[in-house]
Amino acid sequence: MAETSTWVFGYGSLIYKVDFPFIEREPASITGWARRFWQGSHDHRGTPEAPGRVVTLIPKPGSVCQGVAYRIEHDVFDYLDHREKNGYQRMQASIALRDSQREVRGITYYADADNVAFLGPQAHEPLAQHIARAVGPSGRNIDYALQLAAALRELDEEDAHVFAIEALLLEQQSRAK
Ligand code: SIN
């Protein structure tokens, strides 16, 4: 019988904004990739004129990116493909499930450096200032970044890049008060 479900690895908003049905959910990781706020967001946390900054995966040998994997029915892809349409494409991935200690094949949404919304690297300070300013139809860019950092902490995982941006955002917030 044909398989009707697939594992999807989420490393950004898919960790904490779970507005889709799933069969199983488990903390997970993929190896060889680093999470970076290098993708522009025209449709969720910014606009085409003033894009926000959201995370994508950057190839980095040996690096482990922590997130959450969901086993979903195939028809859920209609929703997820639409949600992730601003530069992200499905990419095959080998996903390590943390609790059940299994390695499964699945997919992840990857925005490569050639997509039109890609912004690329920026020093932490201006990057955090950019995030502090941006806002789009899904809300403030700062909430995306702070919620991601909180979700990683909840998973008991670390990400130096995300936590550095979070610290700068919190510092800017307290200075503005
Ligand atoms: C993901 O969460 O896995 C993709 C990027 C995002 O939607 O923030």
pLDDT at position 175 = 86
The CATH number for 63's domain is: 3.10.490.10
Which positions of the chain have pLDDT values less than 50? none
3-state DSSP assignment of residue 40: strand
Which atom, in ligand 1's list, is nearest to the CA of 144?
8
**Could you give phi then psi for residue 26, rounded to 5 degrees?**
-155, 140
In this structure, the dihedral spanned by the alpha carbons of residues 151, 154, 158 and 162, taken in order and rounded to 10 degrees, is: 20
pLDDT at position 1 = 64
Q: Where are the alpha helices (DSSP H) in the chain?
A: 13-16, 76-83, 124-133, 141-154, 160-176
3 as an active site residue: the answer is no
Per-residue pLDDT reduced to its tens digit, 92-125: 999 999 999 999 999 999 999 999 999 999 999 9
pLDDT at position 173 = 87
pLDDT at position 45 = 96
Q: Which of 84, 125, 154, 171 is catalytic?
A: 84
Report the residue among 7, 8, 9, 11 best suited for mutation to probe ligand 1: largest number of ligand atoms under 8 A from its CB: 11
CB 107 less than 6 A from any atom of ligand 1: no
Q: How many domains does the chain have?
A: 1
Q: How far is the CA of 177 from the centre of ligand 1 (A)?
A: 30
Domain that holds residue 143: 5-176
**In angstroms, rounded to a whole number, what is the distance separating the alpha carbons of residues 9 and 96?**
9
pLDDT at position 176 = 84
- Write out the two tokens for 132: 């502090």
Contact 56, 14 (CB under 8 A): no
Cα atoms found within 13 Å of the Cα of residue 24, Cβ hemisphere only:
15
Average pLDDT, the chain: 96
